[in-house]
Amino acid sequence: MKLLNVNPQIEVVGKGRGETVWKLSESYYYYWEHGGVSYCFPIPAGFEFDGASVPWFLRWIAGRGRFGLLAPLVHDFLHHWSGHTRTEKYYPGVRRWRDYPGRKGFTREQADKLFFRILREKGVEPRWLRRGAYKAVRAWSKLNGDNWK
C-alpha cells in the first residue's frame, strides 16, 4: 500500500494586532510507515496553529514559508495534546484502518523527530535549514524538561 500525504486544506486567520494563525479547514489524516507497518492519526477540522514559531531575529533565514505548513501542523497538534492522540494502524488481513490501542501517544522527542522526518520528506532545502529547525525544536523541548506537562 502506498501512503500519500496530500497537502492539508489550511486557511489564514487574522487574530488582530498583527497576529496571524493558520486553521485547518477540513479534517486531515497524517500517514506514515515504520518497520513495514502503516499508521495514521487524525487532526480535526478547526485546529489552529502558529505555523512555525521562528524568533524574529531568525525570520530572514527561516521564515514561516520556508518549511511549508505540514510539519508545523503535525508538530503543533502533537504538542497541543501533549502527544496523546488517537492512532490508527492498517491491518492488511482485513484491509481496514482500526484504532491501535498499543500506541499510548508520542513523547516530545518522537514528535520532534516526526517534525524532522516531514521536513526531509517534503524536500526542505538546504539541508542545514531543516537540521537547524530540528535542533531548535529539540533544544526548546529540552529546555522545557522534555516531558509533556
Strand partners, 42: 29
Q: Give the predicted TM-score (pTM) of the model.
A: 0.85
> Where are any strands of DSSP class E within the chain?
10-16, 19-24, 28-34, 37-43, 48-49, 88-91, 96-99
Is the pLDDT assigned to residue 103 strictly greater than 90?
no
Q: pLDDT value at position 133? A: 86
The answer to whether 88 and 40 are in contact (CB under 8 A) is: yes
Residues whose CB is less than 8 angstroms from the CB of residue 63 and which lie 6 or more positions away in sequence, other chains included:
54
Q: What is the pLDDT of residues 106-132, one digit of tens each?
A: 889 999 999 999 999 888 888 988 898
Return the H-helix or E-strand segment holding 59: none
Q: What is the DSSP letter of 36?
A: T
Q: pLDDT value at position 145? A: 79
Q: What is the pLDDT of residues 7-54, one digit of tens each?
A: 889 998 887 777 788 899 999 999 988 888 889 999 999 999 987 666
Is the pLDDT assigned to residue 58 strictly greater than 90?
no
Q: What is the pLDDT of residues 42-54, one digit of tens each?
A: 999 999 998 766 6
Q: How would residue 56 be classed by pLDDT, with cut points 50, 70 and 90? A: low
Q: Which residue has the higher pLDDT, 93 or 102?
A: 93
Q: pLDDT value at position 125? A: 86
The answer to whether 114 and 74 are in contact (CB under 8 A) is: yes
The answer to whether 114 and 138 are in contact (CB under 8 A) is: no
Percentage of residues of the chain with pLDDT beyond 90: 23
The answer to whether 143 and 99 are in contact (CB under 8 A) is: no
Q: How far is CA 86 from CA 19, 64, 71, 98, 147, in A?
A: 30, 28, 18, 10, 19
The answer to whether 74 and 43 are in contact (CB under 8 A) is: yes
